[in-house]
Structure 1
Amino acid sequence: MNAPGLKIAAPATPYDAKGLLISSIIDNNPVLFVEHRWLYKTMGNVPDTLYSIPFGKGVVRRPGKDVTIVAVSYMLIEALKAAEKLQAQNISAEVIDLRTIKPIDEDIIFESLAKTGKLIITDTGWKTGGVAAEIAALVAEKAFHLLKKPVVRVCCPDIPTPAGDLQEKAFYPDSETICEKAVELMK
C-alpha cells in the first residue's frame, strides 16, 4: 500500500471482480489485483456486457445505525453474516465494502461513522501494519471527533499463517469474532 502510484483492488463479489478488472486493464497506472482464494467459490450475477467500477468508491452493502463494519475482500462475507446475527440482538450494523484499498473511499467511512460513532475494521491480513491499521490511522487523523468508542480491528493474529484446516479455523477471524467485538462496543 505504501508504493506511490500503485492502485490496489480487493473485490469481494463476482460483479465487482469483473468491473474492477476492467478498470485495472484500462487504467494507465500500475494496479495490483488481490483475489482472496475463499472467494473463488462465490456465486453472483456478472453481466456479459463491459462495465467498470471506479477505484476509490466503496459501497454500503447493508445500512445500519449502531456500528460501522468496514470489510476488505473476503471479510465482507463474514461481516454480512455478523450483521445478520447482530440484528437478532437488536444491534444494527452498517457494512461497508471498500472494493479498493488504494485509493480508500474515505468519505463512505466518515459518513457511516458520523451515524454510528463506532468502527470495526475487518481484514484477513495481519493486525500489525495491515490495511485495517491504515484505515484506523486514517480515521484517527481525519475523523477522530466522530468516534464514541476506540476503533476495533478484527484481523489475523501476528503469527505465521498455519497450513492445516483446524489451525486455519482458529487463525482466521470470522462472523463470530466480529459479533463479539460489536457487542463489546455497544456496552
Structure 2
Amino acid sequence: MSLAPRLHDVFSAPSPAVARALIGATLLVDGIGGRIVETEAYDGEDPASHTFGGRTERNASMFGPPAHAYVYRSYGIHWCLNFVCREAGHGAGVLIRALEPTAGLDLMRRRRGLEDARLLCAGPGRLCQALGVSRALDGRSLEMPPFSLVLPTETLPVVAGPRIGISKAVDVPWRFGAAGSRFLSRPFR
C-alpha cells in the first residue's frame, strides 16, 4: 500500500516543516489518542539528534522511509514516539511531545493511574504510556494499524521555541506547539 500523496509530501519535507505541520493532526494508536499539540524536530546534521553519529541498531528506523515510527527508550525508563521524515537514509524525525486526549480517555487514565486529562499525554513518556506505545511499534508505517494519523485540514496558530531536555544545539527553535493549549508538556517562554 502506498502513502497518500499528501501524507507522503508532508513526511518527505525537512523535519522542522513536518513538526509544524503535525500540530493539530489527530493521532490514534489502536483507537486511543487525540490531537497533537506539541512536537520537536531533529535532523541527521543536528548534534542533538540520535542520528548525528550515524546509524546504529537503536536508531535504524530513523534512517528508514518517511511516515514510519521510530520508538526508543529515554533514560532507560520511558518510551518515546518519533515520526521519520525526509528520504530513506537521511536520519530525520519528529518527536511527538504532547497530545490533547480525545479518544479512549478511560483506558488512558487506567494506564497512567491518574484522572487529570491535562496530564495524560503531556510529555513524550506520558504520551507513550497513555497510548500503549512500546518498542514493538518501532519501524511500523504510520498509515497501517495500529496507527491512524489524520493531518489537520486548517492551519492552527503555532508557537516555536527551543527544544527540551537536550544538551546540544539547545537554542535551536525546533519545538512547536499549539498556541494557548493547556495540554503542552511545558509552557513556551
Q: Note whether the superposition's TM-score is higher than 0.5.
A: no
Query: Greater share of strand residues, 1 or 2?
Result: 2
TM-score, length of structure 1 as denominator length:
0.24
Query: Greater share of helix residues, 1 or 2?
Result: 1
More relative contact order, 1 or 2 (CA 8 Å, 6+ apart): 2
